[in-house]
Amino acid sequence: MNIVVKIGGHVIFDDDLDIGLLKEYLYIFKEIYDGGRWVIVVGGGKPARSYVESARKLGLSEGLCDEVGIKITRINAMLLIGLFGELAYPIVPKTLEQVREYTTSRKIVVMGGLQPGQSTVAVSALVAETINAEKLIIATDVDGIYAEDPKKNPDAELLKEISVNDLAKKIVEYSHEAGEYKLVDLLGLKIIARSRIPTIYLNGRKPENLKRALKGEQVGTILKP
């Protein structure tokens, strides 16, 4: 089976790296990995935001700020590779060509960003398209996609499923300022739509949710083409 799991940097980083959570991920992947083409895409989290903000204060261009953030995502990927040991491919891919090559190794490929202008959600969608993934799992810090921002309205309704078109409308509604309720960027959504990739949003801070999704059980929110 070909699977892409996108783990938000804000899921594994709060004030510090959540080592306990990453170890739970390791146990899950050890138990379920079937030797197929699996890729984990890791975000940057607080460290990336901190470095990017510092880069902006120094007057760096937005392109260079993006490159700084990408390097942090790759450092996070290196940490996971070190933790996963023999289960993971030992090199962080920097291109889609490398992703295609490394995923033939019968090891889990772990990576960060690819190039400026792309979020790691967009990268995960591109990777899913590249390896013909049967499933894209996006692990966030909430239980799925809500009718409203759950951080502002604790009673917001969790949606069991939502169409690409309806989600696109929500992207326009929500602010993209740092710290706001970000679902997916338009580029990532466009790639998911054109490839018709089955996509699941779930709470990555609840490892059992990831395990259930990998096993094909209903959890979180399903994004329908």
DSSP state of 211: H
Q: What is the pLDDT of residues 23-55, one digit of tens each?
A: 999 999 999 999 999 999 999 988 888 899 899
Signed CA dihedral, 9, 14, 16, 18: sign only = negative
Above 90 in pLDDT, residue 187? no
Say if residues 61 and 106 touch (Cβ distance below 8 Å).
no
At residue 148 the predicted structure's pLDDT band, cuts being 50, 70 and 90, is: confident
Domains in the chain, number:
1
Q: What is the DSSP track for 18-65? A: -HHHHHHHHHHHHHH--SS-EEEEE--HHHHHHHHHHHHHTT--HHHH
Question: 122 is in which domain, residue-wise?
Answer: 3-224
Above 90 in pLDDT, residue 137? yes
Give the H or E element holding residue 111: strand 109-111
- The CATH number covering residue 79 comes to 3.40.1160.10
In Å, what is the CA distance from 63 to each residue of 39, 46, 53, 68, 106?
26, 19, 13, 9, 35
pLDDT value, residue 174: 56
Above 80 in pLDDT, residue 66? yes
CA 85 from chain centre, in angstroms, equals 21
- Nearest by Cα to 75 from 96, 103, 46, 99: 46
Least trusted range by pLDDT, from 40-49, 113-122, 178-187: 178-187
Q: What is the pLDDT of residues 163-181, one digit of tens each?
A: 988 888 777 665 443 334 4
Higher pLDDT, 164 or 15: 164
Least trusted range by pLDDT, from 74-88, 120-134, 142-156, 165-179: 165-179
Per-residue pLDDT, averaged over 210-216, amounts to 94
pLDDT value, residue 180: 44
pTM, two decimal places: 0.91
Distance, in Å, from the CA atom of 106 to the CA atom of 35, rounded to the nearest integer, reads: 5
pLDDT value, residue 215: 93
